[in-house]
Amino acid sequence: MHSRWVLLLCVLALIPLSGASAMAASGSWSAPLGIYNGMEVVFPSANAGATQIVFLNPNGTTPGYTDWYYDRQVFFMEDTGGAWSTPVVIGSNGMDRPTGWLPIVTHPVISGDGSTIAYLGCTGVCKPVTQGDRYDIYVSRRGASGWSSAAAVATVAETLSSQIGISADGKTLVCVTFIPFGDLRYRVYVVQRTGETWGSPTAISSDTVNAFLPVLSRDGKQVIWRSNQTGGGSDVLNYASQLPGGGWSAPQALITNLILGLSVADYSSFSSDGNSIFYWNVDTVGSDLTHVYLYVLRRVGSAWGFPQQVTPGVLPYTNEGFTAAVNSDGTRVVYPDPLLHADVFDDVSLQMVENKSETWGAPAAVSAHKEGAMYRFPMMSDDGKRLLALGPSPEYDGPGLALFTYSVKYFTYLPFMKK
**pLDDT score of 62 more than 70:** no
Look at 287-301, 326-340, 380-394 and tell me which has the smallest mean pLDDT: 287-301
**pLDDT score of 260 more than 70:** no
**Chain-centre distance for alpha carbon 27:** 23
- What lies within 8 Å, CB to CB, of 103 at 6+ separation is 162
For the chain, give the mean pLDDT.
80
Q: How many CB atoms lie within 10 A of CB 164?
A: 25
| Distance in angstroms (rounded) separating the CA atoms of residues 44 and 321 | 9
pLDDT of residue 139: 94
| Distance in angstroms (rounded) separating the CA atoms of residues 296 and 276 | 7
pLDDT of residue 264: 46
pLDDT of residue 236: 85
- The CA-CA-CA angle for residues 233, 236, 237, to 5°, reads 160
pLDDT of residue 5: 33
Q: Are 210 and 186 in contact (CB under 8 A)?
A: yes
| Distance in angstroms (rounded) separating the CA atoms of residues 87 and 269 | 27
Question: Nearest 10 degrees: CA dihedral of 154, 156, 157, 163?
Answer: -90
Question: Nearest 10 degrees: CA dihedral of 367, 371, 377, 383?
Answer: 0
| Distance in angstroms (rounded) separating the CA atoms of residues 201 and 189 | 6
More confidently predicted of 96 and 356: 356
Domains annotated on the chain, with CATH: 260-393 (2.130.10.10)
Q: Are 99 and 44 in contact (CB under 8 A)?
A: no
Ramachandran angles phi, psi of 8, nearest 5°: -65, -40
Task: Give the 3-state secondary structure of the chain.
Answer: CHHHHHHHHHHHHHHHHCCCCEEEEEEEECCCEEEECCCCCEEEEECCCCCEEEEEECCCCCCCCCCCCCCEEEEEEEECCCCECCCEEEEEEECCCEECCEECCCCCEECCCCCEEEEEEEECCCCCHHHCCEEEEEEEEEECCEECCCEEECCCCCCEEEEEEECCCCCEEEEEEECCCCCCCEEEEEEEEECCEECCCEECCCCCCCEEEEEECCCCCEEEEEEECCCCCCEEEEEEEECCCCCECCCEEEEEEECCCCCCCCCCEECCCCCEEEEEEEECCCCEEEEEEEEEEEEECCEECCCEECCCCECCCCCCCCCCEECCCCCEEEEEEEEEECCEEEEEEEEEEEEECCEECCCEEEECCCCCCECEEEEECCCCCEEEEEEEECCEEEEEEEEEEEEEEEEEECCCCCC
Ramachandran angles phi, psi of 130, nearest 5°: -70, -10
Quick: pLDDT tens for 9-31: 223 233 333 444 455 556 799 99
| Distance in angstroms (rounded) separating the CA atoms of residues 333 and 327 | 7
Span 298-318, average pLDDT: 87
pLDDT of residue 299: 93
Quick: pLDDT tens for 146-200: 999 999 886 654 455 567 899 999 999 998 887 665 666 788 999 999 998 998 8
Nearest of 85, 78, 93 to residue 44 by alpha carbon = 78
By CB atoms closer than 10 A (0-12, 13-18, 19+), residue 413 is exposed
Give percent above pLDDT 90 in the chain: 44
Span 297-312, average pLDDT: 92
